[in-house]
A and B are shown apart, each in its own frame.
Chain A
């Protein structure tokens, strides 16, 4: 409440806007950014405050290592050269694994969705398996993946592929099938070939959904890369292995820094695909036009 008042945003404004559209009083650049940035920043500050409170008030000094204060985490995680280098190398590897997995899942997923959109029998054959790929607990498959593909980078990429395939297939398929039936009829009446229909109607119609799928899949792929790390320890360590290592050595400052970096990776990936989606379809798609990324 108070935050809304401070930025000059009475709540009735939003109710008015529903009926009358932009009322032009405050929805201009800076104010909007302020309105969107202030609440989450406040939450962040409260969070940091709570953290200090737990560290210095709740925990006894001899148990303070369980939750070191934020400034120690920053100092040891980001200002000790060796630790920072280790975390950055882990970050680089995990990012590569996640993006590789996402890329391959995108190629496979798009091909699957395209095939499914072209023939009902293909859709009926593949759809249940696409769903199944999502319901299989990934941890149950992990031993087999290691067994077949070794315990290096390949196995981690495969975990990412499996975990991020589903949202890509489903969103792309939904998008391809969302093409307007009337337009489909008009194109048919004007002699459009299957190819023309796909390129002029189905694929553009699918774009907003494709970006929604990609964004979800990208977030999942980051999770996959880190989870995969826990189990496939061979080769250079990614973020997951670092988490494991710091936890077992009770290096809580480095552990928390790594958690922070892992979160940041997830956020950056999500945000990046958001920006991309808005760039490509934000001019004409009602959903993406409203996205504030």
Chain B
């Protein structure tokens, strides 16, 4: 394990009954690194996140993680509909036993960061899909995670909300410099966000290719339409097509 590593997978396998979801997976994510994970459906991308979070144990191999401050965001916003937005954002801190005053101070801060201050006292019923997702991000941000896991968080949103959330996520990433593993189906999204894109293949799931993304942050959304970016995205897409 490298000194700067936040989490390291060494020859990890995950088996459920007869199914080998993941085999021989090596992965190393360092501080300040944003790693995107793309791959065909059923290649075990989500399983990688479950392993990283400790939700499931590897069948063999080792996972070294040097933090327990892990943020986890799913495809659905998974807010509690009966709690107002602020109470949702404070939920995890509440479970961790953070005192009320500190919770309140931090929820004010993160609600501001995701531009939901004026919706703090609304129920999730009143939020749009993009707003609900921002509340979900805020809930994890509040605990200032060292490692942030994203399981296709913007997959259910429309293109415009999605592009905008990508930008906002990068702003947060630069402000808080957490390490990230971001699972997505979209090559475009993967490359736009990440410092490194990993391509996985299925049955059993493993990493078959790795691409460094050489563009500096902050990234202009228009970068997606530039030649260098398109070329890189094209290469990734090609590898992905071979993997499927």
Contacts and interface: CB of A to CB of B under 8 A. Distances in A.
| Chain A interface helix/strand/loop/mixed | helix
Contact of B125 (A191, A204, A205, A284): A284
Interface residues of B, number: 18
B95 A191 contact: yes
A85 interface: no
Interface in B124-179: 124-125
B92 interface: yes
B53 interface: yes
Contact of A187 (B74, B95, B123): B95
Contacts of B74: 182
A284 B127 CA distance: 11
A196 B92 CA distance: 12
Contacts of B91: 186
A6 interface: no
A14 interface: no
Contact of B82 (A182, A188, A189, A284): A284
A187 B123 CA distance: 20
Given A185-B55, A204-B80, A284 B95 contact: no
B214 interface: no
A61 interface: no
Contacts of A286: 81, 125
A192 interface: yes
Contacts of B53: 185, 189
Interface in A180-200: 180, 182-183, 185-192, 196, 200
Interface string B1-18: 000000000000000000
Interface of B: 53-55, 70, 72, 74, 76, 78, 80-82, 91-92, 95-96, 123-125
11 contacts: A183-B78, A185-B53, A185-B55, A186-B72, A186-B91, A189-B53, A205-B80, A207-B82, A283-B123, A283-B125, A284-B82
Q: Top 5 closest A-B pairs, CB basis?
A: A182-B78, A190-B95, A182-B74, A284-B123, A204-B82
